[in-house]
Chains A and B, each alone.
Chain A
Amino acid sequence: MIKKGLVFLLTVNCYLLIVVAAYAATPTPVDKIQEIRDQLITNIASRVAQLKLVEKRGIIGVVNDVTNTQISVADLQNNTRFVDVDELTKFSNPAFKGIFGISDITKDSTIGILGLYNKESRRILARFVHVVTTPFIIHGGVAAIDSESFSLSITTEEGKQMTVDIENITRTFSYTPDEGYIRSGFSKIKENYNIIVSGALDIKDESRMTATRVIFFPQIPVSPKVNSALERAHKPK
């Protein structure tokens, strides 16, 4: 009798469990609305993330490698950047007459890239690629002045020795707290002056440049790094 009762109770329990589970699984109208709302939220969030994932960016870099679909460049911070190229990418070079394409881009040339940067893949899908010329800027101390050839020898903080040619096109300025930023001239430059030079690097000689702008600071001493570089350079071997 007890055994029969137990079997009966067990059967009833099982039945109840099935009913409860089935009831819980059946979606009510409220659940359906919730489901649609959740789906919408997910879709919107995904779209927003997708929109934020890609942004317009412009970079300048020196070409390391070129293929038909990709350009790898070293950017200003010397990081390697991968640039994807497709049929919509436009190429240009101001010094090139005629049609300019990816095949005309050579290793070591400096290019400007404008495109869509993907934050996830960290790649740029290029829309515009231009060959550019960037100014070469050095900061250091005047080590020597050659008044005959109108050139300056400048030691940079990195310990590099540069010869700077001053031409007719060169604009020279000086800055002092009293006088401010004023137009000056080559004759006012003295040895050990703190100096900034902007110009174009000589293609044949990497230690020579032509200055387009010179800014010197008579009242600011040269950097201690420049001083130590000068000492190293002048030390007898």
Chain B
Amino acid sequence: MKTEKLILSFIATALGLLVAGIAFYLFQATKTITPTNTKTVSFATPTPTPIPSIFLTIDRPKDEEVVNSKVLVISGKTASNAVVVVITETSEDVIEPAENGDFSTTVSLTDGQNILEIISIAPNGESIRIKKTVTYSLEEF
């Protein structure tokens, strides 16, 4: 008797869930949305940023590097037909990169923080600038 009751209540629950599911599906399938309730979302096409004809990467030194030598090697890569200008607080240098675009030069540092400004100028006048801070210090801490 007890088992019968249990089976019956299980069947009843399953049937109820099935009926409710069918009813919900039918409701969703037949639902219509009026145009007043719809909202059109449009995405503005982003304006493409013009790609510069020049690039500049600095391999050495690392930005914010602390060094213990007053002579610093600056090396990097840019367009082979560009002109690279390296400006520090006390000196400046104009370099022509190699055929593969590699360039390298040395600069003298002053005590403390030094700002290195590296500018690469393409033959059409376009340029790219990179600023780096290099600190010369012998302090131990």
The interface of chain A, by Cβ under 8 A from chain B, is 56-60, 75-77, 88, 112, 114-117, 127-128, 130, 132, 134-135, 137, 139, 141, 157, 173, 175, 177, 180-181, 194, 196, 198, 213, 215, 217, 220-226
* Closest Cβ neighbor of A192 among chain B residues: B125
When the two chains form their complex, are residues B137 and A58 in contact, meaning their CB atoms are under 8 A apart?
yes
**Contact call A215/B94, Cβ cutoff below 8 A:** yes
Supposing A112-B135, A217-B83 touch, asked if A223 and B126 sit within 8 A by C-beta, the answer is yes
B121 and A76 contact, CB distance less than 8 A: no
Q: Is the interface of B mostly helix, strand, loop or mixed?
A: strand
B interface residue count range (under 10 / 10 to 19 / 20 to 34 / 35 or more): 20 to 34
Contacts A130-B113, A135-B89: A114 and B119 contacting too (C-beta < 8 A)?
no
* Contact A60 B113, beta carbon cutoff 8 Å: yes
Chain B interface (Cβ < 8 Å from any Cβ of A): 64-66, 83, 85, 87, 89, 92-94, 96, 112-113, 115, 117, 119, 121, 123-127, 129, 131, 133-135, 137, 139, 141
Docked-complex contact A112 and B113, CB < 8 angstroms: yes
CB-CB under 8 A from B65, the residues of chain A are: 57-58
Q: Is the CB of A224 within 8 A of B131?
A: no
In the complex, 30 of the A-B residue pairs with CB atoms within 8 angstroms, ordered by the A residue number, are A56-B66, A56-B141, A57-B65, A58-B113, A59-B113, A59-B133, A60-B113, A60-B115, A75-B133, A76-B115, A76-B133, A112-B135, A114-B135, A115-B141, A127-B139, A130-B113, A134-B89, A134-B115, A135-B89, A139-B129, A177-B96, A180-B94, A181-B94, A196-B119, A198-B87, A215-B94, A220-B121, A223-B124, A224-B124, A224-B125
Closest to A92 in B: B112
Question: Closest approach, in angstroms, between the C-beta of A176 and any C-beta of chain B?
Answer: 10
B113 x A220 contact (CB < 8 A): no
Enumerate chain B residues within 8 angstroms of A175, measured Cβ to Cβ. Answer: 83, 94
Q: How far is the CA of A77 from the CA of B130 in the complex (A)?
A: 10
